[in-house]
Amino acid sequence: MSSSVPPWHPHSLENRLPFLRRRAALTEATRRFFTGRGYLEVETPYAVPVPGEEVHLRAFATRREHQDGTVEPLWLHTSPEFAMKRLLVGGSGPIFQLARVWRNGEGSALHAPEFTMLEWYRPDADMDSLIAETVEFLREVLPAKVSVIGVATSLAGIERLTVAEAFDRYVGADVLSSEGDAAALAAQAGTGLRKDESWEDLFFRLLLERIEPHLGRAHPTFLTHWPAAQAALARRDQADPRVAERFELFVCEIELANAFVELTDPVEQRERFITDRARRHALSGPDWNLDEDFLAALALGLPPCAGIALGFDRLAMIASGADRIGQVLWLPPTDLA
């Protein structure tokens, strides 16, 4: 929804102030929660040589002009993950960050091209302990019952659901047995394949259309154990290598967070990066160099750990009852105000 006046105008700011005051209180409560549990707040660079390796995210380009006249291409990061893991290698211990991040081409009721990401990492954490800590955090900073756009969610309980269970329940498909075979997944789901639709494309279409509308309704939902093809930077489950130790969190039907039990193997991580880079370059062309510095840090030794990236603006929406992201941004883009 766009406004007829700029976001700094008194009328516009007055309308957003109740949401923004709630956001400010949420920020204070978040810092109290993590510092009270022994976390150290960190700040890492925003303009970096490598903004990430996600296939479908688009980064903002910039550059640094050095004193000797040379120019270094840089990018506004899409997440502080690589930088924070370097700090874990260096011995930082448990850390958190409220970081500004950028993702080009985004803009909707739930998406802004520049937004705040809350990320935290704890050495020796596993999926169960990270889920438990996330629940503690939500209950600490949110009211017992929250409501956004007509969807009310109680924090008194949680739902845990694997991706395979979700596809079985809401799609009627065995997503793990069909991995890589788009036609098989389409047949099980009772849907036709779109032109040039890959298994991954169909996976996310079914997830968006048939599964996500059921998640995070009565209680927060933790969607766990993603197919290995969607492992990203998560390690494979030792008990079932078909899946990765990854979860996403949904509250009020909103995808709020993405978390990994982190992959620490530099060889496997390099292989994944190369595969993802090839897919991304096929879609949008060449961009940045492989992050050899990050891989060198992994080779030196990332401690066993788990980490989570949580959309803080979306959390502010949930805390305040806002129905679009622009309401919880101090100076949103005009089209999101």
Cβ 223 vs Cβ 248: under 8 Å? yes
Sequence-distant (≥ 6) Cβ neighbours of residue 242 within 8 angstroms: 176, 179, 227, 228
CA-CA-CA-CA dihedral for 250, 215, 20, 3, to nearest 10: 130
Regarding beta strands 221-227 and 159-162, do their DSSP bridges make them parallel or antiparallel, or are they unpaired? parallel
Q: Is the pLDDT of residue 1 over 70?
A: no
Residues with Cβ within 8 Å of 2's Cβ and at least 6 positions away in sequence, in order, are 334, 335, 336, 337
pLDDT in tens, 186-236: 999 999 999 999 999 999 999 999 999 999 999 999 999 999 989 889 999
Helix (H, G, I), strand (E, B) or coil at 5: coil
CA distance 284 to 288: 12
Task: Select from 320, 311, 309, 209 the least CA-distant residue to 254.
Answer: 311
DSSP of 41-107: E----SEES-----SS--PEEEEEE-TTS-EEEEEE-S-SHHHHHHHHHHT--SEEEEEEEE-TT--
| Mean confidence (pLDDT) of the chain | 96
Helices (H), the chain: 10-35, 81-90, 127-141, 163-170, 182-189, 199-206, 266-284, 292-301, 312-320
pLDDT in tens, 238-272: 999 999 999 999 999 999 999 999 999 999 999 99
**What sign does the dihedral 194-198-199-200 (CA atoms) show?**
negative
pLDDT of 159 over the 60 cut: yes
Q: Say which residue, 229 or 126, is predicted with more confidence.
A: 126
Pairing of strands 254-261, 95-102: unpaired
For the entire predicted model, the pTM comes to: 0.95
Give the residue carrying structure tokens 């779109």: 194
Q: Which helix (H) or strand (E) holds 261?
A: strand 254-261
* pLDDT tens sequence across 127-157: 999 999 999 999 999 999 999 999 999 999 9
